Amino acid sequence: MAAAEPLLLEARALTVRAGPAIACRTLDLRIAPGTCWGLLGRNGAGKSTLLHTLAGLRAPSTGAVRWRGRDLRTLGRRAAAREIGLVPQGDDIPFPLTVRDAALAGRHPHLGRWQHETAEDHARVGEALRAVALDGRENRPLDTLSGGERRRLALATLLAQDPVVALCDEPTNHLDPGQQLAMMRLLRHRFATPDRALLVVLHDAGLALRCCSHLLLVFGDGRTVAGPAATLADPALLGELYGHPMALVEGDGLRGFVPR
């Protein structure tokens, strides 16, 4: 469908309830190609629930999520998984699994029921593991990985899945500051490209301001504010968002936000 402006993922009058919280009420969100969105909000505001709804894994309370102009829920799970990737939080996996097995899961939506992974699939998985510096550890069992390695493996699975839009739930969790920045750079490099887009749940407003072109602030009572990152980098607004006064600190040309 030709729209006035090319859109990938779009929320129309979307209301998402998450337990006692309301992640958003009649939210209109337009995720255009080339954009990188940071999703900020306090704990329990419904950020993950909103993310899952945008990925089409959960029915909205009201309103709709649209993919390239059509209702996402009419797309079919497998087709949707080739377009939209989700990196969820947490990774408790009760069965013995190797790094390669986990990354290979990303190829699932590209394979038919009777197909086996081809040499190309294995090549993509190998490339994805190299991109997150987990190459050479293909046969390591998951339970021997550190928290940071697990986050990088989740990213490798996403790279192997190769969707058009990536939705990442706190991808920088468990990462040291250098790794956080490396993770965001890699995500931007792969998804903030002219024909793709990225939406990342973050807790560090400074990192969001530094890496994202747009921000979506989720207050938890249904209120949301969306817009270009630079216009929303306001300590007063962030203080209201987190329910705690925030201070802007600057140095070496960088800006960060810390709780007062």
Partner 1 sequence: MREADRGRTRRHALLGLILAAAGAIATGLALGTVAIPPDRLLGLLFAPDRSTESIILWELRLPRVLAAFAVGGALALAGALVQVLLRNPLGDPYVLGVSGGASTAVLGALLFGLPAALHPAAAFAGAIGSTALVFALGRRGGALAVDRLLLTGVVVAAGWAAVVSFVLSLSPPAQLPGMLFFLMGDLADATTPWPPALALAAGLAVALPFARDLNLLALGDLRASALGVATAPLHGLVYFLSALLTAVAVSTAGGVGFVGLVAPHLARLAGGSDHRWVLPGAALLGGTLLTLADTAARIAIAPRQLPVGVLTALLGVPAFLLLLHGRR
Contact positions vs partner 1 (CB under 8 A): 52, 55, 57, 77-82, 85-86, 88, 92-98, 100-102, 105-106, 108-109, 111, 113-114, 122, 139, 161
Which DSSP string corresponds to 180-246? HHHHHHHHHHHHSSTT-EEEEE-S-HHHHHHH-SEEEEE-SBS-EEEEEHHHH--HHHHHHHHTS-E
CB of 144 vs partner 1, minimal distance in Å: 12
Which residue, 101 or 234, has its beta carbon nearer to partner 1? 101
* Residues whose CB falls within 8 Å of the CB of residue 191, separated by 6 or more in sequence, listed in order: 36, 165, 166, 197, 198
Residue among 128 and 209 whose Cβ is closer to partner 1:
128
How far is 124 from 129, CA to CA, in rounded Å? Answer: 9
Minimum distance from residue 20 beta carbon to partner 1 (Å): 17
Q: Whose Cβ is closer to partner 1: residue 64's or residue 97's?
A: 97
Residue recorded with tokens 């209109």: 28
Q: Could you tell me the smallest distance in angstroms from the CB atom of residue 157 to partner 1? A: 8
Give whichever of 86 and 145 is closer to partner 1, judged by the CB atom: 86
* Closest approach of partner 1 to the CB of residue 59, in Å: 11
Cα gap 21→171, rounded to integer Å: 23
CB atoms within 10 A of CB 25: 17
Q: How far is the CB of 73 from partner 1 (least distance, A)?
A: 12
Q: Which is nearer to partner 1, 19 or 96 (CB)?
A: 96
CB 204, CB 184: distance < 8 Å: no
Asked if residues 214 and 40 have their Cβ atoms less than 8 Å apart, the reply is: no
